Amino acid sequence: MSQVDAKLRAWWSHKQGLDGRLAGKSAAEVLAETGWQRSVGGASPYLALFARAGLRRAEVDAALAAVEIHELPSARGCTYILPASDFALGLGAGQGFSAEPEMKVAMKLGVTGEEVAVLRKAVLSALEDGPLDPDALRAAVGSATRSLGPEGTKKGISSTLPLALGYLQETGEIRRIPVNGRIDQQRYKYALWGLKPQDDDQVYIDLARHFFAWSGPATEAEFRTFSSLGVKAAKAAMAPLGLEPVEGGLILPGDRAEYEAFEVPRSPAYSLIGSIDNLIQPRGDYAALLGPDDQHRAKGAKGHAIVDRGRVVGFWEYDTATETIVWMAFGKPDQALSDAVARTEAFIREDLGDARSFSLDSPKSREPKIAAIRQGTLA
């Protein structure tokens, strides 16, 4: 492992708050400083906030209920957990990425813009008396919505109601609220909101500034993946930032002096993070976070990781049958690593009950991976 690689990984980990520097911060403060956490109905946002600031589920759920944080369609139309300070930017960066493509598919099934506009008004009217779940909404709007039959189901759009809900969420007119107040489950009700998305030439400049603050040094290609911008648009968004080249990519000028003076901590700092944690997401996979001796062992690996100063040093999954974390380390585990596993295991058992990677992940589907980890492999 070269010193450059070790420094990069440790810096990324430091910027992500995985060195303990964010202890005591709120969920909104952690998200503002380390980045929007991707949400796909799994435990990664909870794991991220626990690893960075020791936040328990009750604290995160309270922040969600108070709308200090929220799940919104944001960059490239994907859902993230955002702090309130970024709600407008997140919605602005998500414009046109989800509702419009779905509408194009629906139009091939005979859906018209006019009928969806009527349905949107009906939804807003129905929500005036308070939040409703999809079944209650469907009953409230009556004939304003219709089934799209087997062909629609095949294309992932069973009725016109999701089209209207998608538009209204994207424009900030409504928001969806987890029925049980939890981030890691995907049953929602909908409520009126009225948040205005950021709508100016500054949206993608602000998005780029956020991305490089969270993830730099990073590359233009990594920003394009995050934002879904083309080459020309990405360059235009990045240009005003004055990004400077260093080992590993580009960095904000204000971060350069700190980066150059930064030294890799001598003591281990272990964290158990989710499969789509912000330490991993900007780089697409684990390759840049693995030491040279571990590349062959973890090639193509997916799942939850154990990291130490930014380097992936093992993998883990949660076994609901035994209520324990099943894990493997690339080297000989020390007491600090065992303690980190025990802390996270207690958090999952007491607060979450499971640690799904995404909504369709299940204890049954996880069995082969758990068996492989127990055998010391990732097959």
Q: Which two tokens stand for residue 220?
A: 């233009």
Cα separations in angstroms, 99 against 19, 118, 163: 39, 16, 7
pLDDT at 379: 55
pLDDT band, very low/low/confident/very high, at 291 (cuts 50, 70, 90): confident
Question: Which pLDDT value is given to residue 169?
Answer: 95
Rounded to 5°, the CA angle 163-165-168 comes to 110
Give yes or no for residue 177 having a pLDDT over 50: yes
Q: Which tokens hold the place of 47?
A: 């794991």
Q: How many CA atoms lie within 13 A of 48 on its CB side?
A: 34
- Distance from C-alpha of 251 to C-alpha of 209, rounded to nearest angstrom: 10
User: What's residue 44's pLDDT?
Assistant: 96
Instruction: Mean pLDDT check: name the lowest of 144-158, 204-218, 235-249, 284-298.
Output: 284-298
358 within 8 A of 40, measured Cβ to Cβ = yes
Q: In one letter, which amino acid is 19?
A: D
Sorted by where each begins, the domain ranges of the chain are: 99-192
| Percentage of the chain lying above the pLDDT 90 cut | 83
Contact between 210 and 86 under an 8 Å Cβ cutoff? The reply is: yes
Question: E-strand spans in the chain?
Answer: 37-38, 69-73, 79-83, 174-178, 188-192, 244-246, 249-251, 270-273, 304-308, 311-319, 324-329
Q: What is the mean pLDDT of residues 347-372?
A: 93
- Strand, helix or coil for residue 356: coil
Average pLDDT of the chain to the nearest whole number: 94
Residue-wise pLDDT tens digits, 223-268: 999 999 999 999 999 999 999 999 999 999 999 999 999 999 999 9
| Crossing angle between the packed helical segments 220-227 and 203-215, to the nearest 10 degrees | 120
**157 vs 310: CA distance, rounded Å:** 41
CATH code: domain 99-192 is 1.10.10
- 189 vs 65: CA distance, rounded Å: 13
Q: Is 155 left (phi over 0), alpha (psi -120 to 50) or beta?
A: alpha
> What is the phi/psi pair of residue 343, to 5°?
-65, -45
Contact 199, 183 (CB under 8 A): no
Report pLDDT digits (tens) over 133-170. Answer: 999 999 999 999 999 999 989 888 999 999 999 999 99
Whether pLDDT at 97 is above 90 = no
> Which region among 150-154, 178-182, 270-274 has the lowest average model confidence (pLDDT)?
150-154
Question: Would you say 241 and 280 are in contact if contact means Cβ atoms under 8 Å apart?
Answer: no
* Confidence band, pLDDT 50/70/90 cuts, at residue 319: very high
Q: What integer is the mean pLDDT of 335-340?
A: 97
pLDDT higher at 292 or 147: 147
Can you tell me the distance from the alpha carbon of 315 to that of 307, in angstroms, rounded to the nearest whole number?
A: 9
User: 271 pairs with which residues across the strands?
Assistant: 307
Q: What is the pLDDT of residues 27-58, one digit of tens each?
A: 999 999 999 999 999 999 999 999 999 999 99
Residue 1: pLDDT band by 50, 70, 90 thresholds? very low
